[in-house]
Amino acid sequence: MKAFVMNEIGETGFAEKEVPEPGPNDAVVRPTKGLVCTSDVHTLHGAIGERENLTLGHETVGVVDEIGEEVDGFEEGDRVAVGAITPDWDSPAAQDGHPSQSNEPLGGWKFANVKDGTFAEYVHVNQADANMARIPDGVTDHEAVYVTDMMTTGFMGAENAEIPVGGTVAVFAQGPVGLMATKGARLQGAGRVIAVETVPKRQELAREYGADDIVDFDDGDPVEQIHELTDGEGVDAAVEALGTSGTFEQCVKVTKAGGTVSNVGYHGEGEYVNIPREEWGVGMAEIDIATGLCPGGSLRLERLLRLLEKDRLDPTHMTTHEFGFDEIDEAFRLMETKEDGIIKPLVEFE
Amino acid sequence: MKAFVMNEIGETGFAEKEVPEPGPNDAVVRPTKGLVCTSDVHTLHGAIGERENLTLGHETVGVVDEIGEEVDGFEEGDRVAVGAITPDWDSPAAQDGHPSQSNEPLGGWKFANVKDGTFAEYVHVNQADANMARIPDGVTDHEAVYVTDMMTTGFMGAENAEIPVGGTVAVFAQGPVGLMATKGARLQGAGRVIAVETVPKRQELAREYGADDIVDFDDGDPVEQIHELTDGEGVDAAVEALGTSGTFEQCVKVTKAGGTVSNVGYHGEGEYVNIPREEWGVGMAEIDIATGLCPGGSLRLERLLRLLEKDRLDPTHMTTHEFGFDEIDEAFRLMETKEDGIIKPLVEFE
Amino acid sequence: MKAFVMNEIGETGFAEKEVPEPGPNDAVVRPTKGLVCTSDVHTLHGAIGERENLTLGHETVGVVDEIGEEVDGFEEGDRVAVGAITPDWDSPAAQDGHPSQSNEPLGGWKFANVKDGTFAEYVHVNQADANMARIPDGVTDHEAVYVTDMMTTGFMGAENAEIPVGGTVAVFAQGPVGLMATKGARLQGAGRVIAVETVPKRQELAREYGADDIVDFDDGDPVEQIHELTDGEGVDAAVEALGTSGTFEQCVKVTKAGGTVSNVGYHGEGEYVNIPREEWGVGMAEIDIATGLCPGGSLRLERLLRLLEKDRLDPTHMTTHEFGFDEIDEAFRLMETKEDGIIKPLVEFE
Amino acid sequence: MKAFVMNEIGETGFAEKEVPEPGPNDAVVRPTKGLVCTSDVHTLHGAIGERENLTLGHETVGVVDEIGEEVDGFEEGDRVAVGAITPDWDSPAAQDGHPSQSNEPLGGWKFANVKDGTFAEYVHVNQADANMARIPDGVTDHEAVYVTDMMTTGFMGAENAEIPVGGTVAVFAQGPVGLMATKGARLQGAGRVIAVETVPKRQELAREYGADDIVDFDDGDPVEQIHELTDGEGVDAAVEALGTSGTFEQCVKVTKAGGTVSNVGYHGEGEYVNIPREEWGVGMAEIDIATGLCPGGSLRLERLLRLLEKDRLDPTHMTTHEFGFDEIDEAFRLMETKEDGIIKPLVEFE
């Protein structure tokens, strides 16, 4: 089968690989739609070290091609969404409520990290009963592919923020994860969502997904702007959806005493992520910092698919570009340069 | 001043009373709009025992007429919403996170219970800084009066239900509290809200406030209907918004193992509220039961007012009738008989 | 191999069975010590319906005899504790934080319910990596067998009670689960533990495990006694460790507004478990009801074994009787009659 | 009356002041015992800026001398403990569950910060009913003075750490707050408490208060030592009880994925408190950071006093030195130099 792989840091290409076979609890899925994630680009550029002949991609939906003998929740031909994170559900971390950390830190993240990813004609899914969900009839593949990472991760950012009903929240950066954090904040009952973003198309989508106010970096220090908007009070919660220490610092600075900073961003650089000491109340202002990694699991996927089925949101508006499977390197190139107003590129397998 | 009072069980009338004076931390408010609550009718019929010359009513907005010397958050002339529950915030129960239980069970409930209520030309508000909130400019008095009880209580029903994002919830009874529990479930990110109700106008409002499905008592056992809708699985959470043991029992029966029953209803009758033993998993199915009493406080009120300011909902659609202050006994009569499709009657003071 | 079985309701005997074989993720364990549980006696008497040729028992430690090919945390010869509850960790309920409810209500309870139990020469353990724990060197088999049910269940009763540090708690009934709830309350920082019990030996053990006060049924209504002890205030939390509606009712009556009733008891009889309406604050006193079923899993077992390793408690004082495997029917007889001051009978396999 | 004051940064002295008078909700207390806190020394050295003629001290017990007319929980002559933090319980932050942040960040901290502290012949206590607790008969003043800050703060460190029963925890630094975090970890059911400390007397006390292991800075990198002790796994939770960025960093490094870092230390220096990016799992290892400021309130104080009444611990072993009120500057000198193995100096007022 054909697979889109990372040959070494910075170099991609198509490779011919064996079609994977499922172990007793596993499945093999034939992708129909996929999405390219900025973290794929990070991986390609060495964020997690050298990889050789590793299939890229982790956001996919498709059709079940084969199942292991112990799998009883699925049949061949089922349309399914596959979690970007596929935990070992019997690991101690999963037992402890942290499946994404199964067996080691970030251990639930397997695709395009420790095993071949999803940009291939066939994809191997471990613990299939627990890591896939059937797509309801009324939901398209294009919609469904967003539950696998963008919706589950972005919503998690809002859930971890512990926003009180009617409370205020600032979401820093409105890439696809930030946009879904904005929508997630609305789904958690936020009374005022302040989206921090400078790109017009992203600002527009932020409004669509529920932002009440837009703060533009280009109009001055976002910390000052948010304090002005909130009469100097700050927000109940801030969501970091970019992954830089500077943005994280701003999140602490806009959060009121007793509030929460929810980190979603992947911090790719630097020795430290910095907490500003004074604004953190010298450690005593009860500004807690919550973190998380993309929640997976069939139950989570089903619940998110239900939101699509019931028309709570349309994530496909984040799709700015579409590519065939064999044009995928162009998608990677655009995700890297962020040219052409790209937000999220869809990959069509058929 | 004129006050609408309960003279004895079952008998109301207008009385002439002294205008109240504020203590150092208190305020006196001149009501502009009020709402009649079914619990007022319960009180009138003796649910909390005999009362004599007690002013009725607990849902009100108005204008600050006078403040005590220690009050610093308000001025005369401010438009304010007054919480139906006005806790003693320095009591041990409030320190413990249960302000509505301050000093004794249900001790935060003062209006028309242990002190004069709000159907009067002037109303005394204890701990005014903590128990009132300024109404934002864009919010009408009519909208604002809904935060004082219906929204805070109904939303609490949904918050206590701990509905997962995309999860399923059944809300039993769509009176004004149930309707706000339905809306609250949507504000908590529910993926499917099943409203149980038989009155057409209430069903219609339930849909407006976010119900995905309506289950009608008249079409058969709601437990069976809900199991059918959910493929036998039951719901993640059920909200009891009626206050009968029978409905409570149904809530337990439709909730899946590991789910939550959230009680909002005021149980006015019977020696026991019954948990069905088998469906409760002989005590071991991890179906927890949460309860609460109308959360008050300036912070809560402000957050709910923010939801109105930001157009998250329009509660005034629950207002089916309007009365002048001197027609208030007719409002009570209708709330008792539920004639004329009444849901919530507004009382206009000016 | 020899197994102690239930032939039909009310009738036990020894049977000859095939030695079980492990599936890929399973293990077979050769028991060294076991404990008889009152719930075994309930089962024998038909509490969960008719069973035929079903091996009884669910509390066991032993030696790993054989492992499936996918098991990588254990080797033959390892001394292990086996959870009484052995969840399917990849089930939706486990993903949702309720492993004991996996696949169906109480679905994690397999031994002596839906598969052969542990009173046999060999025992089959599903998902062995996740459902067993290695016993540390300093911990005896006799100590370790208590983690499999009594400690995990009793402690859960205290954990679910959400006792504040220095708070007050009443534990109703001091059988082995109640005794471990008493100890668990101390391990949660309770400032005052009131144990309700009438049997002198159990009262004595309650004191050993940390009860500050003993309330004796025989000295009058325990509700009144507890109110007297607490100056009429009631307790922050009550634990029901008996499983009768009457005791449950008393738990609600002694719990203060804003407190928690934690149910551990297996309610074996009656159509309803009754909540006393008035003392429950007509549904609004914020007395929540928490429930649970014996938490299993390797992580939980390891943490409890650590408490034994570090001498936090000695559970073997609950062992009042010891029997050989072939005397096990006498152990059952005593557990039924509660003769001879029996608390917990140990079964020795070697 | 005589008061021990800070005249300017770095300079103390005794001053003659007016005896304070209680407002309607307040009390005036005559101290009997006090403790000097390292944070007093920080204040003296300018950590919170310039202060002039400000009475120092915030840990005190004494006798009620006078009460305001609205105070109904106390009488003159009552022996009371006064919280170091005396929140405004009706403030929005208190309503939100963060009383220590009332009205502004750290706003509950009034003594020796925004009003005169407790090293004086008479002390003014705001919202007396909510901010003092009666000392039970069996508890000495010397014991009781420890609840006002050391016990409540140290225990909070353990509570915020969310240690699972039988879990592992590392407590960094065994000053009086760290020692009480160690004891607090035991009161939360920790299965293994690793205390990091280098001073022998403090190590000895750490063992007394429940540490299972001592890690000595002088024996090498504590991060490596803790990883060795835990087979490379790290701990479920780490408590920072020193207040340096370096220690904080070590806390993150020893905490396993999915665990919690609980900050108690007052971070007095530097622009940032640094989170080590990689060990924090690039923001995605689910290592949450919890913070807090000394919980106050009558309920909290009563619960901690109950622990003393019931002999759960003896905090007086931390008292290494005793001084008369007029020798208090010597106590300050020693707290600064940490000479003579000082841990906590008691000040006797009578």
What pLDDT does residue D48 have? 86
Say whether C303 and D166 touch across the interface (CB within 8 A): yes
pLDDT exceeds cutoff 90 at D238: yes
3-state secondary structure of A310: coil
Strands (E), D121-254: 123-125, 132-134, 168-172, 192-196, 213-215, 235-240
Question: In terms of Cα–Cα distance, which of C172, C171, C216 is closest to C190?
Answer: C171
Q: Of all helices (H) and strands (E), which one includes residue B208?
A: helix B200-208
Provide the 3-class DSSP secondary structure of residue A240. Answer: strand
User: B306 vs B105, B209, D279, CA distance in Å?
Assistant: 30, 17, 40
Task: Show residues of chain A in contact with B167, CB under 8 Å.
Answer: 303
CA-to-CA distance for A310 and A301, rounded, in angstroms?
A: 14
| Nearest neighbour of A94 by CB, restricted to C70, C89, C92 | C89
Quick one: three-class SS letters along B46-71? Answer: CCCCCCCCEECCCEEEEEEEEECCCC
- Coil vs helix vs strand at A188: coil
pLDDT at D218 over 80: yes
Burial annotation D261-300 (CB, 10 A radius, 16+ → b, else e) = bbbbbbbbeeebbbbbbebbbbbbbbbbbbbbbbbbbbbb
The angle at the Cα of B79, spanning B74 to B83, to the nearest 5 degrees, equals 80
Q: What is the pLDDT of residues C72-112, one digit of tens each?
A: 999 999 999 999 999 999 999 999 999 999 999 999 999 99
Question: A189 in helix, strand or coil?
Answer: coil
Minimal Cβ distance to A288: which of D104, D266, D289: D289
Report DSSP letters for B211-278, one per residue: -SEEE-GGGS-HHHHHHHHTTT--EEEEEE-S--HHHHHHHHHHEEEEEEEEE-S---SSSEEEEETT
Instruction: Answer for the pair A112, A57: CB distance below 8 angstroms, yes or no.
Output: yes
pLDDT in tens, B187-207: 999 999 999 999 999 999 999
Give the chains touching A; criterion: ≥3 Cβ pairs < 8 Å: B, C, D
Q: Give residue-wise pLDDT tens across range B24-34.
A: 999 999 999 99
Crossing angle for the helix pair A222-229 and A245-254, to the nearest 10 degrees: 20
Which residue type sits at D185?
A: A
CB contact under 8 A, D187 and C184: no
Residue B212's closest chain A neighbor by CA? A310
**Chain A partners within 8 Å of B304 (Cβ):** 165-166
* Closest by Cα among C121, C119, C54 to C335: C119
pLDDT in tens, D85-137: 999 999 999 999 999 999 999 999 999 999 999 999 999 999 999 999 999 99
Rounded average pLDDT over B224-230? 98
Residue with tokens 């794929």: A40
- Say which range, C163-172, D295-304, D334-343, has the weakest mean pLDDT: D334-343
In the three-class reduction of DSSP (H, G, I as helix; E, B as strand; rest coil), residue B18 is classed as: coil
Q: Between chains, do C95 and A298 touch, taking CB under 8 Å as contact?
A: yes
Q: Is A320 exposed, middle or buried (0-12, 13-18, 19+ CB in 10 A)?
A: middle
pLDDT in tens, C153-208: 999 999 999 999 999 999 999 999 999 999 999 999 999 999 999 999 999 999 99
- The class of domain A2-149+294-348 in CATH terms is alpha beta
What does the pLDDT average to over D191-207? 98
Instruction: Provide the pLDDT confidence category of residue A350 given band limits of 50, 70 and 90.
Output: confident
Chain C's closest residue to A296, CA to CA, is C95
**Contact yes or no for C286 and B98 at CB 8 A:** yes
d(C-alpha B179, C-alpha B200), whole Å: 13
User: Which residues of B fall within a CB distance of 8 Å from C263?
Assistant: 283
CA distance D238 to D252: 8
For D165-188, the pLDDT digits (tens) are: 999 999 999 999 999 999 999 999
Interatomic CA distance for residues C26 and C29, integer angstroms? 10
Summarised one tens digit per residue, pLDDT across range A171-189 is 999 999 999 999 999 999 9
CB A187 within 8 A of CB B189: yes
A27-35/D255-263 β-pairing:
unpaired
| Interface contact D281-A257, CB threshold 8 A | no
**Out of D92, D127, D130, closest to residue B298 by CB:** D92
Please state the rounded mean pLDDT for residues C285-306: 98
Beta carbons of B100 and B154 less than 8 angstroms apart: no
The predicted pLDDT at position A16 comes to 98
Contact present, B168 and B230 (Cβ < 8 Å): yes
Phi first, then psi, for residue C119 (nearest 5°) are: -85, 70
User: CB–CB of A276/A293 below 8 Å?
Assistant: no
Which chains touch D (3+ CB pairs under 8 A)?
A, B, C
d(CA A89, CA A102): 7
At A240 the pLDDT is 98
* Rounded percentage of chain C residues whose pLDDT exceeds 70: 100
For the purposes of burial, counting CB atoms within 10 Å of the CB of C72, is it exposed (0-12), middle (13-18) or buried (19 or more)? exposed
CA distance A336 to chain B (A): 32
- Determine the 3-state secondary structure of C244 from DSSP: coil
- The domain limits of chain D are 2-149+294-348, 152-291
CB contact under 8 A, B165 and A191: no
pLDDT tens by residue, A189-242: 999 999 999 999 999 999 999 999 999 999 999 999 999 999 999 999 999 999
Q: Residue B157 is which amino acid?
A: G
pLDDT of residue D47: 85
Q: Among positive and negative, which fits the CA dihedral B160, B161, B164, B166?
A: negative
Name the residue of chain B whose CA is nearest to D92's CA. B299
What's chain A's Rg over C-alpha atoms?
20
Smallest Cα distance from A296 to chain B, Å = 13
What is the topology classification, in CATH, of domain D152-291?
Answer: Rossmann fold (3.40.50)
Q: D165 to chain C: which residues are within 8 Å by CB?
A: 155, 159, 184, 187-188, 303-304, 307
Tell me, yes or no, if the two domains C2-149+294-348 and C152-291 fold the same way. Answer: no
- Residues A161, A178: Cα–Cα separation, whole Å: 13
Rg of chain B, C-alpha, whole Å: 20
**pLDDT tens digits, A292-323:** 999 999 999 999 999 999 999 999 999 999 99
How close, in Å, is residue D296 to chain B by CA atoms? 9
